[in-house]
Structure 1
Amino acid sequence: MLSQLIKKLPPLLQPCAKLNLEKCSASLENLDHSVDRFDDDLIRVLSGSDYVADQLSRNPRLLDDLLSGADLYTDYPASEYRRRLEQSLAQVDSEELLHSVLRKFRQREMVRIIWRDLTRTTDMRGTTADLSALADACIDQALAWLYSNHCAKWGTPYSVPSEDRPAQPQKLVVLGMGKLGANELNLSSDIDLIFAYPEKGMTQGGRGLANQDFFSRLGQKLIQALDSITADGFVFRTDMRLRPYGASGPLVCSFPAMEEYYQNQGRDWERYAMIKARVVGGDQQAGAELLEMLRPFVYRKYIDFSAFDSLRSMKEMINKEVRRKGLHGNVKLGSGGIREVEFVAQAFQLIRGGRDPRLQQRELLNILPLLPETVGIPEQAATELVDAYTFLRNAEHAIQAVADRQTQELPTDPVGQARIAYSMGFDSWDSFIAELDRQRDRVTGHFADVIAPTEAAPAATDQTSDWLQLWNSELDDTEGEAFFARHGLDDPQQAWKAFSHLKSSRSVQVMQAVGYERLQAVLPKLMDEVAATENSAETLERVFLLIQAVIRRSSYLVLLAENPGAMKQLVRLCSASAWFSETLAKQPVLLDELIDQRSLYSPPSKEALQSDLRQQLLRIPEEDEEQLMDTLRYFKSAHALIVAASDITGVLPLMKVSDYLTWLAEVILEVVLEIAWRQLSEKHGVPLKAPGVPCDPDFIIVGYGKMGGIELSYGSDLDLVFVHDADASLYTQGNKPIANSVFFTRLGQKIIHILNTFTTGGHLYEVDMRLRPSGNSGLLVSSLKAFSEYQEKEAWTWEHQALVRARVITGSESLRQRFEAVRADILMQPREHGALAEEVVKMREKMREHLGTSEKEAGELFNLKQDRGGIVDIEFIVQFSALAYSHQYPELIEFTDNIRILDAMEHTGVMSADDAETLREAYKKYRSVGHRQVLQNRTGPVSASELEDCRDAVIRIWNSQLKL
């Protein structure tokens, strides 16, 4: 009978159905069932799910158990999962057994849920409700067992008593976010959780722990119970990065800390996330109080139209990821996908939810039908969105049912395609795709109506048609140059050469028809913009460099054609900067940044950078290092481009440009340290600062040079030094312990690896470690004690000069304070001025000899940095003064940037006000010229006469200050 049913399947599916039937043959022996439809359903499920076949193969009694209890064809009441799991856990007496029972329970119920979904015994909402209830039960029951276990070991946590209230027992509250919070979990979803507890206090009746420590340990154990992979698999992949401060924040927060965070620091995307927050485990009553406490953050009392911009920005970020990673076949993130339906509903929830309590619901399919009445969208639009969402979620489940993998990507192989089409009830892949496209087109249209109106294209001109005529004509050089002359190009010969080079290029000649049409659509508008610039021929060369780079990825041509504002900005910025055009040519994905002109010319604050990066990293699996590295590289390039746009157009002065580029590096270093620390500590455990005292992490990254002096430019490398403050003789706490010294060395190596490694997105920063104690021959990571001893006994004067510009970038706050104390002790040592000046001058002359302009060219050229009277002379004057006088005037070493040290020199009388102002202005002028050179991709010296007045003034002050 079963073999006959297999023959009725589409030919491509028959082999995999037969293989899966053979896998679970033991499950079918002596099977006693009386369900008429069972055989048909069995073949449908085995055709659609290798996961079910694998589970039935591993546990031959599972199918009989499900059938004998009628579970496959019976709806569970809401509390059934909790009841069943509670019974299974009643005799559990160890964490190991807890893990095993949870995983086997999940396997049984997942087989049931997939069976019911693929056979349409239940609908999509039934599937998501079952999955969410299963997750709720696993979280809550595991937490209950672990809480009792922890209380027995550490005591029961209590609040601090007050005059009017005795101490109250405390329990953990687990908030489910995202799809779990909305009871919309999918077949292979991870679960987003936030842990909180009501009040600070101490445990009673045990060893005595602060509540924060108790609940942190409890939370870690709960994550292990759900997320860790054992011989029985896992329960749910668990993601904690939606908590306050993300991965860098505490695992558990008290209610007051939660409220303070969201009131003072909560971002728009966190409002969006909090819409779906629900108590899924622990103290339900306390959890309800917490959500009520946070409600004003989510739902404004007024009609909040700013939500449109926030959601539009979030969607544009997703669109960038879709374009960058090629996610067009993703039913969740691709155009017209699940995420766009969610955004339509949640836009109105954020806008009007504070005024209309009906919109304060979590489940999307409860919200969409309310929109015609509450916000006035057409009934047909709401109906179409409901239908599309249901179809897309069913497709998502069909994709994930195959192997219990967390993916929303449509398969590209014929068998996989046939499998999804069959599971979705279609007789072919083409008919399924036709319906999928129809549904996604509807979603895209409604999304655009609500959130993303497109820019209007400018009207065509006579000149526009001229450009197309030129492109389609065969002109010789004389005719081509004459054409460009008539159209106002400043160098017709150069322009014609660039134009004909693109037209005759191999990449254009082999373009497919669709790409060629897109090129012709964008070319006339692009040429109009280029012709209007002052340096039009040069601009044309730069813009065509980019066109050449994207010619095989013509979606970027569509981006320019459909966003006239972005095209205008592209031409404007390429006209002003060769660096800008070459950067875009190397990374065309950065074209996305040109779309939003508001952000293009408004570089974010450091806090906004931190929030943006945290948000981008939020959905990346922590173990996927390659994707983490690519995201960091894109983030750096995109924000450097934004700063450059503001720099080129004069929106930002030089000093602010350096500030932003330095903040960008700081934010990236913070995250890189977190990633490296997490990866190593997960493998080896946390190093111990002292016996029984874990590090916090007692590690810092110190920036020297331009990084320390807050003076980074485009393409600057990072001069870094790594310092730790743990006992080198101790070992890490973990399954694979290693010596602290080895741990911190590997930590440094991992940080450098993440920063230096080239990927498709380039590299983050070149890292220079030569300023560490003993330079390249020294240890990669020094203890604070070794660093201090080296600086005290062995360091050269030039190393103390470098220390003037050293500052802690990220890491342990307590170690930062100790490092700053060591730095101050070294720099404030009294020094004999004559001997110090002699050493500084000797080092400076040696540098000029090796790095400055040769004697032959000295009269014609000027090296901004190394020649006499240049940047390094100013820096050496500042460093000499800090070393010579800081024992009298500690304010000379308070800051690490040259401008503020010069301010301190003026205020203390170390230098006259006139001389200090002269050096400040010369320093800024030199750096400004250097900046302009970078943006025009020019290297090397400038004309000797260009900055002669500045040079003479600096030389005069050098001779005066160092008494030469």
Structure 2
Amino acid sequence: MQSTMPAALLGISEKHWALLLEKYPQHPWLVEYKTQVLPLFGFSDFIARSCWQDIDILQDLLQGKGLVEGVPDYDNLLRAQLPADVNDEAGLHKVLRRFRRHQMVRIAWLDLTSRQSIDTSLKQVSKLANALIQNACDWCYQHLQARYGTPMYQQTAQPMLVIGMGKLGGEELNFSSDIDLIFCYPEQGETLGGRKTLENQQFFTKLGQKLISALNQVTADGQVFRVDMRLRPFGESGPLVMHFSALEDYYQEQGREWERYAMVKARVINPVVPHTDDLKAILRPFVFRRYMDYSAIEALRNMKRLISQEVRRRQLTDNIKLGAGGIREVEFIVQAFQLIRGGREAALQQPGLFQVLEELKLRQWLAEEDADSLGASYRFLRKAEHHLQQFNDAQTQTLPDNDIDRQRLCLAMGYPDYQSFCRALEQHMQTIHGQFQELIGDENEQGADEQISELQDLWNLPLSDGEALTLLQNLLQTTVAEAFWAELRDFAQDMRARAIGPRGRESLDKLMPWVLNACIKDSSQPQLVLQRLSGVVKAVCRRTAYLDLLLENPGALAQLVRLCNASPWIAEQIGRFPILLDELLNPQHLYQLAPLDGYFNELRQFMLRIPEQDLEARMEAMRQFKLGQQLKIAAADVTHVLPLMKVSDHLTFLAEAMIKQVVLDAWQQMTERYGRPAGLEGSDLGFGVIAYGKLGGIELGYGSDLDLVFVHNCDSCEDTDGPKAIESRQFYLKLAQRIMHLFNTKTASGDLYETDLRLRPSGNSGLLVCHINGFAEYQRAEAWTWEHQALCRSRFVFGDETLAKAFRQTRQDILCQPRDKQKLAQDVRQMREKMREHLQVGQGFDLKQGSGGIADIEFLTQYWVLSESHQQPALCFWSDNVRILESLQQHQIIKPEWAEALTEAYLAYRNAGHRYVLDGRSAVDDSGQFETLREQVRQIWQQTLGG
């Protein structure tokens, strides 16, 4: 390195070397290390000055093992240098400062010679700070304890917990940083065992004062760290140390947004003690909201604006921390995600920027390319920052204004000249600032749009009808404008009467002009969309985070308008479950459905973040997953990405994934309490779920309930093998009850599915779960014709393969029994008449129960399966009507024209039924559009079943 060093730097290094030799002539060994040391002296006045002050540093680094790469065990190294005979504060101060200087020279040496990464350097400085703070705190505690005794609460010694903030908290401390600390202790009380009793508050205040002095005071040996306590509750006017209850009260009642931002990087410096988790439990709900908190973006934007004003006021040019594209903007980007999503994603509740950046990439909230470029640019800036500070141990983030330090910087960073370094720096800062602007931005630049300005007037000003219509007629046709204004006026009056608080009112007033603009611009029926959107806004108006979400994400608002335009059912679902708004953030993700066999894997990944012991959280998470996936299916449906048959497929496979997860969760809960039933092998459950109806027929619709039957194959009378053993067959009854509980319990997101078990043997009077042999015997000996009809639309959807085979065999045997066709036709006809009498809805054509409707087609297919399967067993292979009709035609049971007519009618009715649900209507048609299809179905019914 010496040969590549500019002459000016060589001159500086030679001067430092000469001073060193002059002071330490008794160390002839220095000469042999000249070529190794000289470049470092040219790089860093701090290294040269430190070695001149203490030759032991240089001797240790050169002749000992001081330059071994990696993170040393600072704690033990420092403890070894704090022997018991250091019994006064002056002695403590001397040891701390010499140790700090020694280790910082080592870090600078390795950094400036490119022998370690910036990640390692950041970790080393942070670990060094931890050791210095903790050992100083322990020493001060022990010496106060000798005089005043031990601070106690209910016979338990009380520690002082030191919270490291900022880069110290994130273990990313820069080389010459000050440190931000907050002191607290668990409980009030008083000391015990000393010469003088103090209240705990007094004891810990003295401890805090002595710790600050040990670190912050400047002596002949320098300073350990500049200590900043202004981030504590109430700032400089607040008490130096607070107990947990006071801390909790403060953050619940008076905590401000910037304090939330600061607390994201908070970390307890002390070794883990039982009180650590208690403190985290106090801070976590203040920092990380349970919902998606988009108000954080505005708070960060305001902070960035204040920082920019400070930069301009102090004329801080060339500042790589605070300037556009600087270090602070990377921190803002990462911490914005933490504040927004951290309440729901525990992986984001960690203070380290690099770790969180990896989580963002892993979860695809930041594109891999963006996350990698952001990480690389951040490392570049932090490396430059470290070198700037290592030149003279000065806290600076400003690019040098002199040739010496410029030469040092470009050489340490690996650039041939300062211009090359500046070009690279500019590229990295542009990368950062581009991503910052995309996520956070400096201000809502759209606010100047002229149309938005007019709509702000429409929303905010008390306009007369004439004034409002004059304004709207520039944007809409007269009749549409009148309807739109009538809807808006009523909505505005309603919202003015609601108590949503000043914060909510401010967010609503900012959002509504954009909502109105989206209604006018993106819909052919703006008044109808406004009506549907107003329901969503009313539902979320007290949850400001969702208003902020729509304000901060124009894409999400556009998707909301698009979906509300397409379907009032979707609008109603979002209004009932505002968490669905989160699904609108990524349009590509919204319309990208899971593969049919991929729903369980996605659900399993989604559930990994929920502890198995937190039953309520797991139930809520399953409901959130189901609602989110159902919204995605509906979005693909209304935008014609999916045809009808695929919609039902996706809804069916989603339901099967939920069933599997519910059964596995219930099994886990039951076996933890009771153990496993007797006779099971390997991973078998001895349990199965049979689906009937729409789920069995792979024809599930929006809001369909699940017709289920539970079976087991337990033949043992032995007890389970758990701590609270019960009879093994009783275990399966409790398992079924637990499954129903997981399905039907209402959480914040409603129930999971409505479930119906009435198709089990003996109906409501039967057991919730039956033995598979009992199920078979019931079907053979006791089941009614209508129960065999239902069996046509049944499938085994989850459980052991042995049970699946047994069920399929039973189903085949039952459906293939020879039957008296005349008696069968009579039974089917009577059941159909009874259903129509009790279930038909409305004055028009009830698509399901009306004459010539869906139920008639289903009964026809079931009749043919039951009457002909004894001769054509393949007819009972499928459980869905469309493929049954194909099979009936293929085996020449019905004429091709019949199969075609029934299939066409069936799909038309189902498609219309889907549309009606999405339009928020009952499945009754009064347009007459289906009369031809109905007549065809009636004729086939008459010719087949008569009556």
TM-score by length of 1: 0.57
Pick closer, same or farther for the CA change 1:732–1:469 going to 2, 3 Å: same
Residue in structure 1 matching 2:763, options 775, 781, 789: 775
Aligned with 1:688: secondary structure?
coil
Match of residue 565 from structure 1: 555
Q: Please identify, of 539-548 and 790-799, the stretch whose mean Cα deviation from structure 2 is larger.
A: 539-548
Residue in structure 1 matching 2:519, options 530, 545, 549: 530
Alpha-carbon distance, 1:318 to partner:
12
Match of residue 449 from structure 1: 435
Pick closer, same or farther for the CA change 1:672–1:478 going to 2, 3 Å: same
Pick closer, same or farther for the CA change 1:565–1:828 going to 2, 3 Å: same
Pick closer, same or farther for the CA change 1:352–1:518 going to 2, 3 Å: closer
> Is contact 1:756–1:766 with CA below 8 Å preserved after alignment?
yes
Pick closer, same or farther for the CA change 1:477–1:345 going to 2, 3 Å: closer
Pick closer, same or farther for the CA change 1:477–1:446 going to 2, 3 Å: same
Letter aligned with residue 461 of structure 1: D
- Is 1:504 the counterpart of 2:493? The answer is yes
Match of residue 618 from structure 1: 608
Aligned with 1:706: secondary structure?
helix
Match of residue 885 from structure 1: 868
Structure 1 distance, partners of 2:379, 2:347, is 25
Aligned with 1:867: secondary structure?
coil
Alpha-carbon distance, 1:901 to partner:
0.8
Structure 2 distance, partners of 1:523, 1:829, is 65
Structure 2 distance, partners of 1:519, 1:527, is 12
- 5+ residue gaps, structure 2: 1-82, 93-134, 145-149, 159-206, 216-266, 278-331, 389-427
Alpha-carbon distance, 1:492 to partner:
3.5
Aligned with 2:642: secondary structure?
coil
Q: Which has the larger radius of gyration?
A: 2
Structure 2 distance, partners of 1:778, 1:602, is 43
Pick closer, same or farther for the CA change 1:736–1:344 going to 2, 3 Å: closer
Residue in structure 2 matching 1:606, options 584, 596, 601: 596
Alpha-carbon distance, 1:327 to partner:
6.0
> Is contact 2:689–2:797 with CA below 8 Å preserved after alignment?
yes
Residue in structure 2 matching 1:648, options 616, 638, 645: 638
Alpha-carbon distance, 1:55 to partner:
13
Q: Deviations over 1:262-320 (max 9, x none)?
A: xxxxxxxxxxxxxxxxxxxxxxxxxxxxxxxxxxxxxxxxxxxxxxxxxxxxx999999
| Superposed counterparts of 1:94-113, under 5 Å | none
> Is contact 1:508–1:551 with CA below 8 Å preserved after alignment?
no
- Is 1:670 the counterpart of 2:669? The answer is no
> Is contact 1:515–1:554 with CA below 8 Å preserved after alignment?
yes
Alignment root-mean-square deviation, CA: 4.5
Aligned with 1:721: secondary structure?
strand
- 5+ residue gaps, structure 1: 1-31, 61-114, 123-183, 190-232, 234-314, 354-366, 388-441
Letter aligned with residue 955 of structure 1: R
Structure 2 distance, partners of 1:334, 1:522, is 32
Residue in structure 2 matching 1:597, options 587, 592, 598: 587
Letter aligned with residue 560 of structure 2: L
> Is contact 2:674–2:720 with CA below 8 Å preserved after alignment?
yes
Match of residue 937 from structure 1: 920
Residue in structure 1 matching 2:672, options 668, 674, 682: 682
Letter aligned with residue 801 of structure 1: Q
Pick closer, same or farther for the CA change 1:902–1:345 going to 2, 3 Å: closer
Match of residue 333 from structure 1: 349
Structure 1 distance, partners of 2:505, 2:615, is 37
> Is contact 1:695–1:726 with CA below 8 Å preserved after alignment?
no
Match of residue 509 from structure 2: 520
Letter aligned with residue 340 of structure 1: V
Match of residue 627 from structure 1: 617
TM-score by length of 2: 0.58
> Is contact 1:507–1:552 with CA below 8 Å preserved after alignment?
no
Aligned with 1:491: secondary structure?
helix
Structure 2 distance, partners of 1:939, 1:377, is 57
Alpha-carbon distance, 1:34 to partner:
6.3
Structure 2 distance, partners of 1:601, 1:624, is 31
Alpha-carbon distance, 1:491 to partner:
3.5
Number of equivalences: 612
> Is contact 1:688–1:730 with CA below 8 Å preserved after alignment?
yes
Match of residue 846 from structure 2: 863
Structure 1 distance, partners of 2:705, 2:617, is 23
> Is contact 1:864–1:941 with CA below 8 Å preserved after alignment?
yes
Structure 2 distance, partners of 1:450, 1:465, is 26
Pick closer, same or farther for the CA change 1:347–1:885 going to 2, 3 Å: closer
- Is 1:757 the counterpart of 2:745? The answer is yes
| Superposed counterparts of 1:1-20, under 5 Å | none
Letter aligned with residue 868 of structure 1: S
Alpha-carbon distance, 1:563 to partner:
2.0
Match of residue 556 from structure 1: 546
Aligned with 2:813: secondary structure?
helix
Alpha-carbon distance, 1:847 to partner:
1.2
Match of residue 245 from structure 1: none
Letter aligned with residue 860 of structure 2: I
Pick closer, same or farther for the CA change 1:447–1:552 going to 2, 3 Å: farther
> Is contact 1:684–1:736 with CA below 8 Å preserved after alignment?
yes
Letter aligned with residue 847 of structure 1: M
Structure 1 distance, partners of 2:686, 2:271, is 38
Letter aligned with residue 725 of structure 1: N
Q: Please identify, of 901-910 and 595-604, the stretch whose mean Cα deviation from structure 2 is larger.
A: 595-604
Pick closer, same or farther for the CA change 1:376–1:339 going to 2, 3 Å: closer
Aligned with 2:796: secondary structure?
strand
> Is contact 1:689–1:695 with CA below 8 Å preserved after alignment?
no
Alpha-carbon distance, 1:462 to partner:
2.3
Alpha-carbon distance, 1:567 to partner:
1.4
> Is contact 2:504–2:542 with CA below 8 Å preserved after alignment?
yes
Alpha-carbon distance, 1:865 to partner:
0.7
Q: Deviations over 1:578-616 (max 9, x none)?
A: 111111111112111112111222221134322221111
Letter aligned with residue 449 of structure 1: Q
Residue in structure 1 matching 2:573, options 567, 583, 590: 583
Alpha-carbon distance, 1:501 to partner:
2.9
Q: Deviations over 1:423-467 (max 9, x none)?
A: xxxxxxxxxxxxxxxxxxx99x96983998579976853221110
Match of residue 381 from structure 2: 380
Pick closer, same or farther for the CA change 1:188–1:765 going to 2, 3 Å: farther
- Is 1:906 the counterpart of 2:889? The answer is yes
> Is contact 1:732–1:738 with CA below 8 Å preserved after alignment?
yes
Residue in structure 2 matching 1:698, options 681, 686, 698: 686
Aligned with 2:679: secondary structure?
strand
| Superposed counterparts of 1:117-132, under 5 Å | none
Residue in structure 1 matching 2:731, options 719, 743, 756: 743
Alpha-carbon distance, 1:378 to partner:
5.7
Pick closer, same or farther for the CA change 1:460–1:921 going to 2, 3 Å: farther
Q: Share of identical aligned residues, percent? A: 38
Letter aligned with residue 758 of structure 2: R
Pick closer, same or farther for the CA change 1:865–1:320 going to 2, 3 Å: farther
Match of residue 718 from structure 2: 730
Pick closer, same or farther for the CA change 1:718–1:325 going to 2, 3 Å: farther
Aligned with 1:689: secondary structure?
coil
Aligned with 2:670: secondary structure?
helix
Alpha-carbon distance, 1:344 to partner:
7.2
Q: Deviations over 1:469-495 (max 9, x none)?
A: 112221234543454444216533442
Structure 1 distance, partners of 2:789, 2:601, is 35
- Is 1:466 the counterpart of 2:454? The answer is yes
Alpha-carbon distance, 1:345 to partner:
8.7
Structure 2 distance, partners of 1:317, 1:789, is 62
> Is contact 1:344–1:451 with CA below 8 Å preserved after alignment?
no
Structure 2 distance, partners of 1:586, 1:862, is 30
Match of residue 239 from structure 1: none
Alpha-carbon distance, 1:782 to partner:
0.5
Q: Deviations over 1:874-899 (max 9, x none)?
A: 00011111111112222211111111
Pick closer, same or farther for the CA change 1:944–1:639 going to 2, 3 Å: same
